[in-house]
Amino acid sequence: MRLLAVVTIAFSLFSTVYGFCGSNPGSKEQVAKYEEEFQASLKNISTEAKQASYTVPVRWNIFYDQNNPSDGNYADSVIQQTISVLNYYYQSNGLSFAVASVQRIPIDYRTLHSFQFNTNPERQVKQAYRIGGAETLNIYSVGNNPNYPYSGWATFPRDYSSDPYNDGIVYIYNYLPGGSATGYNTGKIMAHEVGHWVGLYHTFQDGCQSDAYNAGDYVADTAAESGPASGCPTGQDSCPFLPGLDPVQNMMDYSNDACRTGFTPGQYARMKQQLQYRGIYI
C-alpha cells in the first residue's frame, strides 16, 4: 500500500543560504574504516569483466502539494534537462543516466515541506516508493524545509548492502533547472548529489589534511580546502601550507553553479571503483 498520503514525512532545504548538501559520510573514524574495508575489497573484485559504459536507470518520484500542484510538481522537460546535465558531466567516464519511470505523488503541504535526513518518516516513504536494486538511482523530489537548510542529500554506495531501502537522493525541487534557487538552479546541484551516490566526498572534507590518500576526500588531485566555498572565490587558498588552490570549480564543492565546471581524473577513477559496490563495472 502506498502509505505516503497518511505519513508525515521529513526532508528539506533552506531559504536564504543556497547550495548546502545534507549528505552525511559519518565521522572521520568511520570514514577511515570504510575506506580501509573498501581498499581491501578491491583486491577481490578487480578481476570482474568491465563494460565500456553503463546506463543507470533513474526512478523519479515527485511529491507535490495536493491542494496546490504548482508547489512541487513540474513538467517532464525539467527532468530531461536534469538528465542532460548528468550525462554531460558523467558520460565521459562511461556512466550515463536514463529515466526509467516517473511517479507523481500528491501529499499535504506540511509533509511536503518537512523532510529531513535520516528520519523514520523518510524511511517509510522510501520503502513505499523505492524501485530497483543497487544499480538503480531513486530520486525523491520534495519541497524546502525552512528549518532544515539543505538542497538535498544522497546515500553512498557502501551503504546499500546494510540499508538498501534508504538508498537514493532526496532533492529540493527549487534547485532543479529553472527553479527558484537563483544561482543554483541549472541542475549542477543534482550532479553534486549524484557524485555522492557514486562514492565521492566533498572536496573540503576534513579541511586542511596533509595526506590526500588517507584523509579528506580520498582523492589525490583535489587540493585541500579548509571549508566549503561560497559564490566563486577563484584563486582562494585556504590551506596555504599545502599544494594547490581551493578547488572551488569542482562539482563537489559548494560554489555557485556558474563556478562549477566538473570533476577531476582522480574523482572519475574513484567513481569507477566505488560503483563496484553497486555491481557496475566500467
Residue with cell 577563484: 234
Are 138 and 190 in a shared domain? yes
Average pLDDT, the chain: 88
Residue 6 has pLDDT above 90, yes or no: no
pLDDT confidence of residue 209: 76
Are 83 and 112 in a shared domain? yes
Give percent of the chain above pLDDT 90: 71
Question: Quick check: 247 and 208 in contact, CB under 8 A?
Answer: no
What letter would DSSP give residue 180?
A: S
Tell me the C-alpha distance between 117 and 157, whole Å: 17
Residue 168 lies in a domain: yes
Residue 275 lies in a domain: no
Q: What is the pTM of this model?
A: 0.89
Q: In this predicted model, what pLDDT tens digit does every residue of 157-193 receive, in sequence order?
A: 999 999 999 999 999 999 999 999 999 999 999 999 9
Residue 224 has pLDDT above 60, yes or no: yes
CATH number of the structural domain spanning residue 53: 3.40.390
Residue 267 has pLDDT above 60, yes or no: yes
Lowest average pLDDT, out of 34-38, 67-71, 144-148, 267-271, goes to 34-38
Residue 17 has pLDDT above 50, yes or no: no
Mean pLDDT of the 13-41 span: 68
pLDDT confidence of residue 44: 65
Are 181 and 208 in a shared domain? no
Residue 61 lies in a domain: yes
Mean pLDDT of the 133-149 span: 93
pLDDT confidence of residue 176: 98
Residue 270 lies in a domain: no
Highest mean pLDDT among 4-8, 18-22, 115-119: 115-119
Q: CB neighbours (10 Å) of residue 51?
A: 11
Question: Quick check: 142 and 112 in contact, CB under 8 A?
Answer: yes
Q: Is 256 helix (H, G, I), strand (E, B) or coil?
A: coil
pLDDT confidence of residue 214: 52
Residue 102 has pLDDT above 90, yes or no: yes
Number of domains in the chain: 2
Are 93 and 103 in a shared domain? yes
36 is catalytic: no
Tell me whether strands 152-154 and 54-65 are parallel, antiparallel or unpaired: unpaired
Are 166 and 247 in a shared domain? no
Are 123 and 228 in a shared domain? no
Residue 115 has pLDDT above 70, yes or no: yes
Are 78 and 109 in a shared domain? yes
pLDDT confidence of residue 35: 83
Lowest average pLDDT, out of 33-47, 89-103, 215-229, goes to 33-47
Domain span including residue 219 = 202-262
Q: What are phi and psi of 89, to 5 degrees?
A: -90, -15
Lowest average pLDDT, out of 36-40, 70-74, 104-108, 161-165, goes to 36-40
Residue 15 has pLDDT above 70, yes or no: no
Are 165 and 212 in a shared domain? no
Mean pLDDT of the 209-223 span: 77
Residue 192 lies in a domain: yes
Question: Comparing C-alpha atoms, which of 124, 158, 146, 109 is closest to residue 7?
Answer: 124
Residue 144 lies in a domain: yes
Q: Which run of H or of E encompasses 139?
A: strand 137-142
Residue 170 lies in a domain: yes
Query: What is the phi-psi region of residue 183: left when phi exceeds 0, alpha when psi lies from -120 to 50, beta otherwise?
Result: left
Catalytic residue among 29, 37, 122, 193: 193
Residue 72 has pLDDT above 60, yes or no: yes
Residue where a domain terminates, one of 200, 232, 247: 200
DSSP output for 41-94: HHHHHTTSPPPS-EEEEEEEEEEEETTBTTTT---HHHHHHHHHHHHHHHGGGT
Are 194 and 223 in a shared domain? no
Angle at 47 between CA 43 and CA 52, to 5 degrees: 125
Are 209 and 180 in a shared domain? no
Give the rounded distance of the alpha carbon of 66 from its chain centre.
27
Residue 46 has pLDDT above 70, yes or no: no
